[in-house]
Amino acid sequence: MFFIKLVIRNAFRHRLRTCLTIAGVAIAILAFGMLRTLVGLWYVGVESSSASRLITRNAISLIFPLPIAYAERIRQVPGVKTVSYGDWFGGIYIDEKHFFASYAIEPERYLDLYPEFILTREEREAFVRDRKGCVVGKKLADKYGWKIGDLITLKGTIYPGQWEFALRGIYRGKDKGTEERVLMFHWDYLNEVLKKTVPARADQVGYYIIGVTDPARAAEVALDVDRTFKNSLAETMTETERAFQLGFVAMTEAIMIAIQIVSYVVIVIIMVVAANTMAMTARERIPEYATLKTLGFGTEHIAAIVFGESVFISLLGGVLGVLLTFPASHWIETELAQYFPYFSVSRATIYIDLATACGIGAVAALFPTWRGATIRIADGLRRIG
Amino acid sequence: MAIPCYYSFRNLWTRRLTTVLTSLGMALVVFVFAATMMLAEGLQKTLVETGSYDNVVVIRKSANSEVQSGVERGQAAIVESLPEVATGPDGRPLLDKELVVLINLTKRGTDKPANVVIRGVGPDGLALRPQVRLVAGRMPRPGSAEVIAGKNIAERFQGGGIGESIRFGMRDWTVVGTFSAGTTGFNSEIWGDVDLLMQAFRRPVYSSVLFRLRDSSAFEGARELIEGDPRLTLEAKRETRYYRDQSEQMATFLRILGISLTLVFSVGAMIGAMITMYAAVANRITEIGTMRALGFGRLSILAAFILESLLLGLTGGMLGLFFSSFMQLITISTMNWQTFSELAFNFTLTFGIVWKSLLFSLIMGLVGGVLPAFRAARMNIVEALRAS
């Protein structure tokens, strides 16, 4: 009890210095938590993707199409329940700054395969019936103020021309991680226009989506599908949706690794600041430590006082940082919704934040503790200032 | 004025451990600042240098990159007949009709695929790009399934080295040479014969047409001819401009990321400097009083402490720059979202980054030191001398 009191009293002797240190640690913990969440978001597409859906694409790379005739042959592969297909459209709305994902899809079975896109029955039927219809996610509709029945015009980058769609439905995501910034329209519409303008590019799809009867056999089915098209003009590459997404993420991994490294750098920076503070504090109090030793306190007591003070201060900073994390992430979620549709800090991040704060305090205290504890009484008392 | 300045300088030296720790904090911030700037700069430099000012890239209208574009043979022939196209030494137009597609290759040592650009070039492909030269092996024989790989591909991707082979389009393609293209983006490409590759990929159309201008100032004329011709659905860009457009989004992303990160971090470092400077003032109350008694004015004291903190910042800045200059040895390889393809680039240190980093470190020092310096300057002589 006496020690705790001493530690707290000591911590607030230099009120300004302690407050500055606490603020420093709080900012570092805040930044660390935010960066960790940001890196986690990068992988959110992977986590929300299903392991029971397979994606089949051209083996050369994603930019090469597959013939539409493959749909029937894939359906005959044992273990395949549903097959649907789509194509990355890559249309531009207004200008490049307003970019969002757009796909040409085969509507009925596609929506069956993606139960996480929630549409009302009427909206779904209206979309399936209207060849020039499209559906968009709620976030996208909110951003541009679209209402059902509106006409949306996209400029094609891969398929040239102006493409007009009538909005037939606005879907909501089943959970927070579901992408709600996508526009989907009928592949048939795209194909019919292509048949007239560029017949060579018609009757081709970008990828197939396969629903399997038994998720446990997904790997087997994938191999079977690829074997079917081996040594054909368009060989296929089939993998689970999760692996497919992971491949995408891996392509930009270098940047994520950089952000991760940077998030550790911020911890090191603040460790240096805290170590500096503790070194100064210990230097000023050397005569006191000598006095305490004279009174009969042992080395371990002095060590506990210095160490405890350091951990106490940085833990205070850590708690403050964690408390600030919530309003900060809320702010990002509302103000930067365009880039981060959802930004929620996980429980694990908070625990890691607090552990890191303790770590900062412990490392910062190492040198001063050793110095305070090993000082010889006579030397300590002789020292001035 | 000389003595207080000398005094600050001596002080930093006497309290070495604190000085080092404080400036180390700032050094790390400057390091992060400089490194992210260098990354954005390196990306942009790589892509901008990839183009030559006198070359013109022709792609399909509204296609953002060569990969998305398609130029029919007939259209390519019309472009070839433009009077603005320079003539080569053999009397034919200096123009290359190219195919650009992406293939999946696996990086060495991992099983992670990446999108690699494979470019089908014609006979003038090399003449139009003087920065590209063969460093090992030989050029592909015309009409055979041989390709040459850029330096970064040869080092980083399975099947990219000389003698290895890559499988696509139902046949194996042997790598017979490695080329280097200075610091440009071509280092991340694979080149082969355009006609063979079009066959292999079953693409009846070219992706782009590249030509040298007869006269550098004739670009506007050529552009109007191409974009105004009703038979063509193409657009023309100077090659430099084309590549700059491709790096814009990612470079902006890196810059914004870098600046927002360093702003947050610098708050931490400034707090560190403030703590140090407050302690420096508190420990030296008697000395400050003595100097005031000797006749140095408040302004001199203020200047001395601000100078001390500026020096602290400068030391940190220089340390940070010193460490970040080593980053130039590192090559980053990642996907450029705009082209959807793999690109390798280096951290690049420029004079602009150097002075921005140093200025940034001085500002950190100033902000951290200004309040403590005012406290020192406002001190009452008698009370300061009385303090133990």
Dist. CA B262–CA B266, nearest whole Å? 6
Contact in structure between B265 and A30 (CB atoms under 8 Å): no
Which residues in chain B have Cβ-Cβ distances shorter than 8 Å to A258? 39, 332
Which residues in chain B have Cβ-Cβ distances shorter than 8 Å to A253? 112, 334
Contact in structure between B236 and B226 (CB atoms under 8 Å): yes
Dist. CA A24–CA B87, nearest whole Å? 65
Per-residue pLDDT of B238-277, as tens digits, reads 998 898 888 887 888 888 888 888 888 888 888 888 888 8
Check residue B263 and give its pLDDT.
83
The answer as to whether B32 is a domain residue is: yes
Please, is A158 exposed, middle or buried when counting C-beta atoms within 10 Å of its C-beta (0-12, 13-18, 19+)?
buried
CB neighbour list of residue A338: distance below 8 Å, 6 or more residues apart: A143
Are B228 and B79 contained in the same domain?
yes
Please give the angle made by the CA atoms of B231, B233 and B236, to the nearest 5 degrees: 115
Provide the angle, in degrees to the nearest 10, between the axes of the packed helices B239-283 and B351-377. 20
Q: Which B residues in the span 96-155 are in contact with A, Cβ-Cβ below 8 Å?
A: 101-104, 112-115
Dist. CA A42–CA A253, nearest whole Å? 9
Query: What is the token pair recorded at A69?
Result: 């005739």
Count: domains in chain B:
2
Nearest to A372 by CA among A296, A292, A314: A292
Nearest residue of A to residue B19 by CA position?
A276
The answer as to whether B38 is a domain residue is: yes
Dist. CA A264–CA A32, nearest whole Å? 7
- SS3 per residue for B341-378: EEEEEECCCCHHHHHHHHHHHHHHHHHHHHHHHHHHHC
Query: What is the token pair recorded at B239?
Result: 């090659």
Please, is B387 exposed, middle or buried when counting C-beta atoms within 10 Å of its C-beta (0-12, 13-18, 19+)?
exposed
Are B117 and B153 contained in the same domain?
yes
CA–CA min distance A328, chain B (Å): 13
3-state helix, strand, coil in chain B (%, to 5): 55, 20, 25
Dist. CA A330–CA A321, nearest whole Å? 14
- CB within 8 Å: B264 and A60: no
Dist. CA A199–CA A206, nearest whole Å? 16
Q: Which helix (H) or strand (E) holds A318?
A: helix A299-335
Q: Which helix (H) or strand (E) holds A4?
A: helix A2-11
Check residue A383 and give its pLDDT.
66
Nearest residue of A to residue B338 by CA position?
A96
Are B82 and B202 contained in the same domain?
yes
Q: Which amino acid is at B282?
A: A
Dihedral through CA B293, CA B297, CA B301, CA B303, nearest 10? -160
Dist. CA B250–CA A157, nearest whole Å? 19
Q: Which of B14, B38, B62 to mutate against chain A (most A CBs within 10 Å)?
A: B62
Query: What is the token pair recorded at A207?
Result: 């990828």
Are B265 and B350 contained in the same domain?
yes
CA–CA min distance A4, chain B (Å): 25
Query: What is the token pair recorded at B252?
Result: 């902006």
- Buried residues in A249-275 as b, exposed as e (16+ CB within 10 A): bbbebebbebeeebbebbbebbbbbbb
CA–CA min distance A60, chain B (Å): 5
Q: Which residues form the domain of B353? A: 2-48+246-386
The answer as to whether B225 is a domain residue is: yes
Which residues in chain A have Cβ-Cβ distances shorter than 8 Å to B233? 160
- CB within 8 Å: B60 and A265: no
- Which residues in chain B come in under a pLDDT of 50? none
How many separate helices (H) and strands (E) can be counted in chain B?
11, 12
Q: Which amino acid is at A343?
A: F
Are B84 and B221 contained in the same domain?
yes
> 3-class DSSP state for residue A69?
coil
Dist. CA A254–CA A260, nearest whole Å? 10
Nearest to A385 by CA among B17, B276, B387: B387
Nearest to A208 by CA among A57, A99, A334: A57
Nearest residue of A to residue B59 by CA position?
A157
Which residues in chain B have Cβ-Cβ distances shorter than 8 Å to A269? 25, 28-29, 265, 268-269, 272
β-pairing verdict for B208-212 and B95-106: antiparallel
Query: What is the token pair recorded at A293?
Result: 């030793």
Are B208 and B263 contained in the same domain?
no
Write down the H helix ranges in B51-86: 73-80
Q: Which residue, of B184, B208, B232, is where some domain finishes?
A: B232
Check residue A338 and give its pLDDT.
64
Query: What is the token pair recorded at B131?
Result: 């920065």
Q: Which residue, of B206, B232, B258, is where some domain finishes?
A: B232
Dist. CA B276–CA B177, nearest whole Å? 59
The answer as to whether B228 is a domain residue is: yes
Which residues in chain A have Cβ-Cβ distances shorter than 8 Å to B18? 276, 279-280
Cβ-based neighbour number of residue B176 at 10 Å: 20
- CB within 8 Å: A60 and B168: yes
The answer as to whether B108 is a domain residue is: yes
User: Going residue by residue through chain A (385 aa), what tens digit of pLDDT does each one get?
Assistant: 677 888 888 888 888 889 988 998 998 899 899 888 888 887 777 777 777 789 999 988 888 899 999 999 999 999 999 999 999 998 888 887 788 889 999 999 999 999 889 999 999 999 999 999 999 999 889 889 999 999 999 998 888 889 999 999 999 988 777 888 899 999 999 999 999 988 888 899 999 999 998 888 888 899 999 999 988 888 898 988 888 888 777 777 777 888 888 888 888 888 888 888 888 888 888 888 888 888 888 888 888 888 999 999 999 999 999 999 999 888 887 777 666 767 788 888 999 999 999 999 999 898 888 888 888 888 878 765 4
Check residue B147 and give its pLDDT.
94
Please give the angle made by the CA atoms of A126, A128 and A130, to the nearest 5 degrees: 65
Residues paired with A101 in a beta bridge: A182
CA–CA min distance B202, chain A (Å): 9
Which residues in chain B have Cβ-Cβ distances shorter than 8 Å to A270? 25, 268
ipTM over 0.85: no
Are B102 and B168 contained in the same domain?
yes
Are B130 and B156 contained in the same domain?
yes
Q: Max Cα separation, chain A?
A: 98
Are B193 and B317 contained in the same domain?
no
B323–A contact, CB cutoff 8 A: no
Please, is A376 exposed, middle or buried when counting C-beta atoms within 10 Å of its C-beta (0-12, 13-18, 19+)?
exposed
Phi/psi-derived region of residue B202, left when phi > 0, alpha when psi is between -120 and 50, beta in every other case: left
Q: Which residue, of B232, B266, B282, is where some domain finishes?
A: B232
Contact in structure between A111 and A211 (CB atoms under 8 Å): no
What share of chain B has pLDDT > 90, as a percent? 30
B343–A contact, CB cutoff 8 A: no
Q: Which helix (H) or strand (E) holds B137?
A: strand B133-137
Are B205 and B76 contained in the same domain?
yes
Which residues in chain B have Cβ-Cβ distances shorter than 8 Å to A155? 62
Q: Which B residues in the span 3-22 are in contact with A, Cβ-Cβ below 8 Å?
A: 17-18, 21-22
Which residues in chain A have Cβ-Cβ distances shorter than 8 Å to B103? 60-61
Dihedral through CA B363, CA B368, CA B371, CA B374, nearest 10? -70
- Residue whose structure tokens are 């497919």: A244
The answer as to whether B53 is a domain residue is: no
Dist. CA A360–CA A363, nearest whole Å? 5
Are B344 and B217 contained in the same domain?
no
CB neighbour list of residue A114: distance below 8 Å, 6 or more residues apart: none
Output DSSP code: residue A215.
G
The answer as to whether B327 is a domain residue is: yes
Nearest to A314 by CA among A363, A280, A350, A281: A363
State residue B236 phi and psi, 5-degree precision. -115, 140
Q: Which B residues in the span 184-243 are in contact with A, Cβ-Cβ below 8 Å?
A: 201-202, 204, 233
Nearest to B336 by CA among B44, B59, B55: B44
Are B198 and B322 contained in the same domain?
no
Domain spans, chain A:
2-44+253-382, 60-234
> 3-class DSSP state for residue A314?
helix
